[in-house]
Amino acid sequence: MSNFNPTRRNVLYGLGATLGTVAFNAMLRDEAAKAAAATPAAGPLAPKDSHHPTKAKSCIFLFMEGGPSHIDTFDPKPKLADVHMKEFQRDDKFTSAMNGGKRYFVKSPYEFRRAGKSGLWMCEHFEHLAGVADELCIYRGCQAESVDHPTACYHLNTGNRFGGDPAIGSWATYGLGTLNQNLPAYVVLPEGAFPQGGAANWSNGYLPAYFQGTPLRPAGSPILDLAPPPGVTREAQRANLDLLAKLNVADAARNPHHDDLAARMESYELAFRMQTQVPDIVDLSKEDAKTLEMYGIGQKATDSMGRRCLLARKLVENGVRFVQLFEGGWDSHDYLERSHKARIRATDKPIAALIADLKQRGLLDSTLVVCSGEFGRSPDNGVRGGQNVAGRDHNAKAMNLWLAGAGVKAGTAVGATDELGAKAVEVVHPLKDLHVTLLHLLGLNDNKLTFFHEGRYKQLSQTGGEVIRELIA
């Protein structure tokens, strides 16, 4: 007589074992067995074929949190000089209740110049990025939906303004796997503090836990407890993991509805494998002095971003599929001239070095680089205490971003905003089309890259979108 006392969960799970579901599950197991026999070593993050031929094998996404001003970076608006400090009319679409509704047009505090053979417009303070201008494709027609930082961050990173959905890096690794099984497939490099919305910006959402982003700490050991404790050998670790795996396999057989258990088992194995490769990758002290200087490492203004840009290059060089950097401080509601200048100074040299370094190593042809904030800025500012503080508000209807590398139409500016920079008016597309385009450049079809959840197949674009062909070479 069996001593098995089923729990309520076991009973409910067993209710699915009707004759029809038994047959269906048997078919699924048979298909899974055939697939496993064909690729016995394949795991959930093993490399997968793309949906269509593509150059890009990996992606580095530079997220400028806070909303950089397109008007003061890559989209000059000389018309603003003609209306500088003129007050909006009460019915103007930019009028707000702030400060009694008094708001004023503000010209850019910066000069602009053409850069590279392509003649792309750039703010005067992009001293280094101007040197790689011919690698960039600047897109001026993108529009977001939210002007609230957390929801806008979620929207750009996951396709959903309210969070809880998989990040674009999770979708990419779900569709393509990764090229190095000893490293995380999706690595996140935040600055000192997490961005608004926190870790949900790189969550796996409803995808299996294998595909979540792995953040590396910006200071100290990038991953805690990476090295084994003193006196513990790799042989002892291996024996412990083998015993744990044996127990977990038995538990998984009793509770097949616990999907996260397999991911947890794989994470233990990945952590064990990472001990052999991660220390060398994250150790920047072995880089030559010329490389460190090129990225601005050791220089106060650029050290943080420089370290993360160099680490991003080393990660993709070692087979990581998707790397995302977060750099904040772009929310310039006041003192724009000072704040944006400081942000440009902190990022200009490291980002230019990243692009140049990828190119000289032959990696730019296989790496897609994207740089974007969550929205753009408005052509106006308010007055506080009777004083003009020359900042800009959030603007979802006009934002600039740029792409470089594999498959991108380099040395071009695509789309346009109106004469004041208030709204995109040419080659206008919503964020979901940008998402579809990024997946396309990585060889993935958004309509095929789906996951069944809550009774329907879901995708990054939520409801489908179109590729922005003007961005593609």
Above 50 in pLDDT, residue 92?
no
**CA–CA gap between residue 355 and residue 133 (Å, rounded):** 10
- As to burial, measured by CB atoms within 10 angstroms (0-12 exposed, 13-18 middle, 19+ buried), residue 353 is buried
**Do 369 and 358 touch, CB atoms closer than 8 A?**
yes
User: What is the average pLDDT across 245-272?
Assistant: 64
275 against 291, higher pLDDT: 291
pLDDT in tens, 305-331: 999 999 999 999 999 999 999 999 999
**Do 348 and 128 touch, CB atoms closer than 8 A?**
yes
**CA–CA gap between residue 237 and residue 250 (Å, rounded):** 20
Above 50 in pLDDT, residue 26?
no
Above 90 in pLDDT, residue 68?
yes
User: What is the average pLDDT across 67-93?
Assistant: 84
Confidence of residue 281 (pLDDT cuts 50, 70, 90): confident
State what percent of residues in the chain have pLDDT above 90.
Answer: 65
pLDDT of residue 313: 97
User: What is the average pLDDT across 199-210?
Assistant: 95
pLDDT in tens, 208-242: 988 999 999 776 666 655 566 676 666 665 666 56
pLDDT of residue 235: 63
The identity of residue 338, as a single letter, is R
User: What is the average pLDDT across 174-182?
Assistant: 94
Residue 66 has phi, psi (to 5 degrees) of: 120, -20
User: What is the average pLDDT across 439-457?
Assistant: 97
- As to burial, measured by CB atoms within 10 angstroms (0-12 exposed, 13-18 middle, 19+ buried), residue 121 is middle
User: What is the average pLDDT across 67-76?
Assistant: 97
Q: Is this structure's pTM higher than 0.85?
A: no
Residues 6+ apart with CB under 8 A from 270: 181, 182, 184
Alpha helices in 39-137 (DSSP H): 79-82
When the pLDDT of each residue in the chain is averaged and rounded to a whole number, the result is 85
pLDDT of residue 98: 41
219 against 169, higher pLDDT: 169
**Do 332 and 340 touch, CB atoms closer than 8 A?**
yes
Alpha helices in 361-460 (DSSP H): 431-441
In this structure, the strands spanning 58-64 and 322-327 are: parallel
Above 50 in pLDDT, residue 35?
no
Q: Which two tokens stand for residue 7?
A: 């729990």
Measured between its terminal Cα atoms, the distance across the chain in Å is 70
5 against 316, higher pLDDT: 316
pLDDT of residue 227: 62
pLDDT of residue 347: 98
Residues 6+ apart with CB under 8 A from 200: 154, 158, 163, 164
